[in-house]
């Protein structure tokens, strides 16, 4: 084993005590106990010691994080949701800095002022570095998109589809109206379609005559016609007037194909143009598929709701958008400075608390006068306590408002104030959330370790009770043997036959999901393992000579059990106890994933199963939680293995 090969000389082969009598000598070495011996062996096992240290650190964190971390993990704070992890000292690194690279966010470039262009839903102030803009397309209707095509498609292959404008009334003799319809030449394929106009000769609600402008064909591209000519020339002879109500439509017949291809058409443009100043078709024109879709969904703009799909669906196809990719500082976005309207009383309170300093206009601040009021002299505003004052600067004083409350008149003074939000939340700087925040805007670091505390308390107490019951049960069963043993064995066999998940589910369904019930559910079958280990240990040791010797000296059963047999069998039992804790934490986590987790108290399992849903959007939550539980499990198992090897060296490396 050892690499150091010693040179063995003749001298080493001399017997240490050849002629001395040593049987009545006292040992020079100190006597060692079973535990001390095991301890010595354990310390040699480095990985187990490391595991023990990690467990110690985790336990300390679980104990102290919930005490010293003052972040609120009870109430929900929507604004602070999903902040990525931010660690002190990592501000200038690429990880754990509270920033995330956000990709392909639709960019709002609709404002004429270029400085106001921003990614939708993001704040320009908190963007770090350059915004990379790319041209892109979207198939979703968006107010920030332009262009695109409308895809009209039927629901089934046996359905026809099409698009049709609302009814529009115009004088066709007064002006020339030109119709232009553009169908996409690249995307359209194998679908016959027809362009038609419906003309209502006797008012908008009468029957209409169908005038086909383009016969069923697969001729894609631009179609233009003089709409006035068509309408006027196709009117019946009896009708002399020039003003008609018309509807323009495109119709795609059903395919009825056995392979399920559906009627569909990509339409780029449908517009009627005229030289007249007021074009009644103008609201009904569309050259922008996106506009069409948006306005249909927008109730405010009812006059624009001009399109009717004959059957089937319409969707935007390839609307053009600008997409932005950039690094975003989430903390700055929610904890930075913001302009807000603040009432005078809040400012006065801040002045009373010594946070800020300002003078009131003396001309109006005389209490004795009937129309006294508070008006700040803006130049005198000054931040006194830089650390706690959330009000940084007054930018604008709103004019006085008067509110009549019964007989009295109240003057209201509001100010635009720059508010520092992290100071407002009681932090002295932008906070560090080591594991980020969860879906309720709570510090996930605290949640995890708070949960770990619950899980560990559950684990340790359940393990303690399980060991106690298992010891007593196994000792009785193993020591006495015979009928008692057989009966007790049958009982444990039946109980052990029920999968633990079923026992736990049934218990929790019956008694609710609080801590006590969880403890009970874990105990119901948890002790069986210890009991069987204890029983077999008792079987092994009860027939030993030293037990017999003690019995012949008149020792009682209890003395034999507790003084002679149990201490010898304690090794595997201690190991079993340590190994039981990760098992309990695992069971608890599994039950939480079933949706029956602890209520009121957050456990590690509850914390994990809650953030499982955000695995795609905010993976740091589930990753940190999972890493902690994995670390815990590995450490406990390593520690337990080390203990087992220490207590029973002959088993080393067996499992």
Partner 1 sequence: MGKYILKRVGLVFVTAFIILSLTFILMKLLPMDRPIGLAPDQLRYYNTQVRLGYMVQVQGPLMPGQTVDITVNDGGKLYYYNQVPVMRQYLSWLRNVITRWDWGVSSRLERNVPAIEIIARKLPVSMKLNIIALFVSVPLGFLFGIIAALQKNKLPDHIISTGVMIFISIPSFVFITFLMLFFAYKLEWLPSQWPPEGLSWQMQAKAYVIPVMALSFGTIAGFTRYTRAELTEIMSSEFLLLARTKGLTKRQTVIRHALRNSLVPIVPMIIGQFIGILSGSMILEALYGIPGIGSLFVTAITNKDYNVVMVDMALYTTIGLFAGLLVDLSYGIVDPRIRMGARK
Contacts 24+ apart (CB under 8 A), 34-39: 34/567, 34/570, 34/571, 38/571, 38/643, 38/646, 38/647, 39/646
For 178, residues 6+ apart whose C-beta sits below 8 A from its C-beta are 224, 225, 226, 227, 272, 273, 274
Closest CA to 247 of 325, 153, 170: 170
Q: Between 218 and 498, name the residue whose CB sits nearer to partner 1.
A: 498
∠ CA 356-357-361, nearest 5°, is 135
In the complex, minimum distance from the CB of residue 444 to partner 1, in angstroms, rounded to a whole number: 15
Q: Between 361 and 493, name the residue whose CB sits nearer to partner 1.
A: 493
Q: Are 608 and 622 in contact (CB under 8 A)?
A: yes
Near partner 1 by CB under 8 A, which window of 34-42, 310-318, 381-389, 616-624? 616-624
Measure the CA–CA gap between 82 and 613, rounded to whole angstroms: 13
Backbone angles phi, psi at 216, to 5 degrees: -50, 120
Task: Reduce the DSSP state of residue 176 to 3 states and report it.
Answer: coil
| Sole binder of partner 1 in the list 322, 350, 596, 643 (CB under 8 A) | 596
Q: Are 150 and 293 in contact (CB under 8 A)?
A: yes
| Sole binder of partner 1 in the list 235, 593, 614, 648 (CB under 8 A) | 593
**Separation in Å, CA 542 to CA 34, 156, 475, 571, 624:** 19, 80, 10, 16, 49
Q: Between 238 and 494, name the residue whose CB sits nearer to partner 1.
A: 494
Q: Between 303 and 497, name the residue whose CB sits nearer to partner 1.
A: 497
Biggest distance spanned by C-alpha atoms of the chain: 148
In the complex, minimum distance from the CB of residue 654 to partner 1, in angstroms, rounded to a whole number: 5
Q: From start to end of 218-370, where are the E strands?
A: 222-226, 243-252, 264-274, 307-309, 313-317, 319-329, 337-343, 356-360
Do β-strands 127-138 and 177-183 pair in parallel, antiparallel, or remain unpaired? unpaired
Closest CA to 400 of 410, 408, 387: 410
In the complex, minimum distance from the CB of residue 589 to partner 1, in angstroms, rounded to a whole number: 7
* 586 part of the interface to partner 1, by CB under 8 A: yes
* 144 part of the interface to partner 1, by CB under 8 A: no
* 95 part of the interface to partner 1, by CB under 8 A: no
* 629 part of the interface to partner 1, by CB under 8 A: yes
In the complex, minimum distance from the CB of residue 445 to partner 1, in angstroms, rounded to a whole number: 18
Give the H or E element holding residue 52.
Answer: helix 46-68
Q: Between 63 and 633, name the residue whose CB sits nearer to partner 1.
A: 633
Measure the CA–CA gap between 624 and 136, rounded to whole angstroms: 34
* 612 part of the interface to partner 1, by CB under 8 A: yes
* 641 part of the interface to partner 1, by CB under 8 A: yes
* 595 part of the interface to partner 1, by CB under 8 A: yes
In the complex, minimum distance from the CB of residue 316 to partner 1, in angstroms, rounded to a whole number: 25
Residue tagged 């600008």 (tokens)? 322
| Sole binder of partner 1 in the list 35, 539, 570, 648 (CB under 8 A) | 539
* 458 part of the interface to partner 1, by CB under 8 A: no
* 53 part of the interface to partner 1, by CB under 8 A: no
Where in 563-582 is the site for partner 1 (CB under 8 A)?
A: 582
* 638 part of the interface to partner 1, by CB under 8 A: yes
Q: Between 343 and 496, name the residue whose CB sits nearer to partner 1.
A: 496
Measure the CA–CA gap between 15 and 366, rounded to whole angstroms: 110
Angle at which helices 619-647 and 566-591 cross, to 10° = 170
* 511 part of the interface to partner 1, by CB under 8 A: no
Measure the CA–CA gap between 655 and 652, rounded to whole angstroms: 8
* 486 part of the interface to partner 1, by CB under 8 A: no
In the complex, minimum distance from the CB of residue 586 to partner 1, in angstroms, rounded to a whole number: 5
* 589 part of the interface to partner 1, by CB under 8 A: yes
Near partner 1 by CB under 8 A, which window of 33-41, 176-184, 296-304, 503-511? 503-511
In the complex, minimum distance from the CB of residue 496 to partner 1, in angstroms, rounded to a whole number: 9
Closest CA to 439 of 616, 625, 611: 611
Task: Reduce the DSSP state of residue 499 to 3 states and report it.
Answer: coil
The tokens describing 299, both together, are 């109730």
* 497 part of the interface to partner 1, by CB under 8 A: yes
Near partner 1 by CB under 8 A, which window of 197-205, 414-422, 524-532, 619-627? 619-627
Give the H or E element holding residue 180.
Answer: strand 177-183
In the complex, minimum distance from the CB of residue 594 to partner 1, in angstroms, rounded to a whole number: 5
| Sole binder of partner 1 in the list 57, 60, 464, 498 (CB under 8 A) | 498
Dihedral of the alpha carbons of 501, 503, 505, 506, in degrees to the nearest 10: 160
Q: Between 476 and 622, name the residue whose CB sits nearer to partner 1.
A: 622
In the complex, minimum distance from the CB of residue 638 to partner 1, in angstroms, rounded to a whole number: 6
For 339, residues 6+ apart whose C-beta sits below 8 A from its C-beta are 395, 416, 417, 418, 419
Q: Tell me the chain's radius of gyration from C-alpha atoms.
A: 41
* 509 part of the interface to partner 1, by CB under 8 A: yes
* 634 part of the interface to partner 1, by CB under 8 A: yes
* 637 part of the interface to partner 1, by CB under 8 A: yes
Q: Between 243 and 493, name the residue whose CB sits nearer to partner 1.
A: 493
Measure the CA–CA gap between 536 and 576, rounded to whole angstroms: 14
In the complex, minimum distance from the CB of residue 499 to partner 1, in angstroms, rounded to a whole number: 5
| Sole binder of partner 1 in the list 151, 622, 643, 646 (CB under 8 A) | 622
In the complex, minimum distance from the CB of residue 502 to partner 1, in angstroms, rounded to a whole number: 5
In the complex, minimum distance from the CB of residue 557 to partner 1, in angstroms, rounded to a whole number: 21
Q: Between 431 and 478, name the residue whose CB sits nearer to partner 1.
A: 478
| Sole binder of partner 1 in the list 505, 550, 568, 648 (CB under 8 A) | 505
Measure the CA–CA gap between 526 and 471, rounded to whole angstroms: 12
Measure the CA–CA gap between 72 and 607, rounded to whole angstroms: 15
Task: Reduce the DSSP state of residue 414 to 3 states and report it.
Answer: strand
| Sole binder of partner 1 in the list 341, 506, 548, 549 (CB under 8 A) | 506
* 239 part of the interface to partner 1, by CB under 8 A: no
* 648 part of the interface to partner 1, by CB under 8 A: no
Do β-strands 414-420 and 391-397 pair in parallel, antiparallel, or remain unpaired? antiparallel
Measure the CA–CA gap between 320 and 288, rounded to whole angstroms: 10
* 439 part of the interface to partner 1, by CB under 8 A: no
Total number of residues binding partner 1 (CB under 8 A)? 38
In the complex, minimum distance from the CB of residue 539 to partner 1, in angstroms, rounded to a whole number: 7
Q: From start to end of 344-407, where are the E strands?
A: 356-360, 376-383, 391-397, 401-405
| Sole binder of partner 1 in the list 34, 143, 594, 649 (CB under 8 A) | 594
* 616 part of the interface to partner 1, by CB under 8 A: yes
Q: Between 153 and 525, name the residue whose CB sits nearer to partner 1.
A: 525
**Which residues of the chain form contacts with partner 1 (CB under 8 A)?**
493-494, 497-499, 501-502, 505-506, 509-510, 539, 582, 586, 589-590, 593-596, 612, 615-616, 619, 622-623, 626, 629-630, 633-634, 636-638, 641, 653-655
């Amino acid at each position: 084993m050892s690499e150091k090969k010693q040179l063995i000389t003749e001298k080493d082969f001399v017997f240490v005590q050849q002629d001395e009598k040593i049987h009545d000598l006292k040992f020079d070495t100190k006597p060692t106990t079973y535990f001390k011996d095991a301890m010595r062996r354990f310390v040699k096992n480095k990985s187990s010691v490391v595991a023990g240290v990690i467990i110690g650190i985790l336990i300390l964190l679980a104990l102290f994080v919930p005490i010293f971390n003052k972040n609120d993990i009870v109430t929900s704070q929507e604004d602070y949701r999903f902040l990525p992890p931010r660690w002190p000292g990592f501000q200038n690194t690429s990880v754990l800095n509270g920033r995330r690279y956000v990709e392909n966010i639709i960019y709002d470039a609709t404002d004429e002022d270029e400085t106001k262009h921003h990614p939708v839903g993001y704040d320009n102030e908190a963007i770090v570095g350059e915004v990379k803009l790319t041209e892109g397309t979207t198939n979703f209707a968006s107010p920030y998109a332009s262009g695109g095509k409308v895809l009209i498609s039927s629901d089934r292959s046996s359905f026809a589809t099409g698009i049709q404008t609302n009814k529009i009334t115009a004088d066709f003799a007064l002006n020339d109206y030109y119709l232009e319809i553009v169908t996409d030449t690249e995307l359209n394929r194998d679908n016959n379609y027809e362009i038609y106009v419906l003309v209502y000769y006797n008012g908008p609600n009468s029957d209409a005559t169908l005038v086909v402008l383009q016969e069923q064909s697969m001729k894609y591209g631009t179609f233009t016609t003089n709409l006035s000519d068509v309408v006027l020339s196709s009117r019946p002879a009896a009708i002399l007037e020039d003003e008609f109500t018309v509807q323009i439509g495109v119709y795609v017949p059903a395919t009825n194909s056995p392979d399920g291809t559906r009627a569909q058409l990509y339409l780029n443009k449908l517009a009627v143009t005229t030289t007249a100043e007021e074009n009644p078709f103008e609201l009904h024109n569309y050259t922008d598929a996106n506009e069409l879709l948006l306005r249909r969904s927008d109730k405010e703009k009812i006059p624009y709701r001009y399109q009717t799909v004959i059957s089937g669906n319409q969707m935007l196809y390839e609307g053009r958008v600008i997409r932005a990719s950039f690094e975003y500082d989430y903390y700055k976005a929610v904890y930075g400075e913001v302009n807000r309207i603040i009432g005078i009383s809040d400012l006065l309170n801040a002045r009373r608390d010594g946070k800020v300093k300002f003078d009131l206009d003396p001309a109006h601040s005389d209490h004795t006068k009937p129309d006294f009021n508070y008006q700040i002299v803006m130049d005198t505003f000054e931040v006194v306590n830089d650390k706690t004052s959330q009000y940084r600067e007054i930018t604008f004083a709103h004019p006085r408002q008067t509110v009549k409350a019964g007989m009295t008149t109240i003057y209201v003074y509001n100010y635009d104030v720059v508010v520092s939000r992290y100071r407002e939340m009681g932090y002295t700087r932008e906070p560090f959330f080591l594991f980020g925040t969860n879906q309720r805007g709570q510090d996930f670091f605290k949640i995890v370790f708070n949960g770990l505390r619950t899980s560990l308390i559950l684990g340790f107490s359940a393990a303690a009770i399980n060991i106690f019951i298992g010891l007593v049960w196994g000792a009785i069963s193993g020591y006495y043997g015979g009928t008692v043993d057989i009966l007790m064995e049958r009982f444990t066999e039946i109980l052990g036959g029920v999968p633990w998940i079923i026992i736990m589910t049934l218990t929790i369904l019956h008694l609710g999901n609080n801590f006590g019930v969880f403890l009970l559910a874990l105990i119901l079958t948890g002790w069986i393992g210890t009991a069987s280990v204890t029983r077999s240990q008792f079987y092994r040791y009860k027939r030993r000579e030293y037990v017999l010797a003690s019995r012949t000296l008149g020792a009682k059963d209890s003395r034999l059990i507790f003084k002679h047999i149990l201490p010898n069998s304690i090794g595997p039992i201690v190991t079993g106890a340590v190994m039981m804790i990760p098992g309990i934490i695992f069971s608890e986590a599994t039950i939480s994933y079933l949706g029956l987790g602890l209520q009121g108290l957050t456990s590690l399992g509850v914390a994990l199963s809650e953030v499982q849903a955000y695995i795609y959007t905010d993976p740091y939550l589930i990753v940190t939680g999972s890493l902690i539980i994995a670390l815990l499990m590995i450490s406990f198992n390593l520690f337990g293995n080390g203990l087992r090897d220490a207590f029973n060296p002959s088993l080393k490396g067996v499992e």
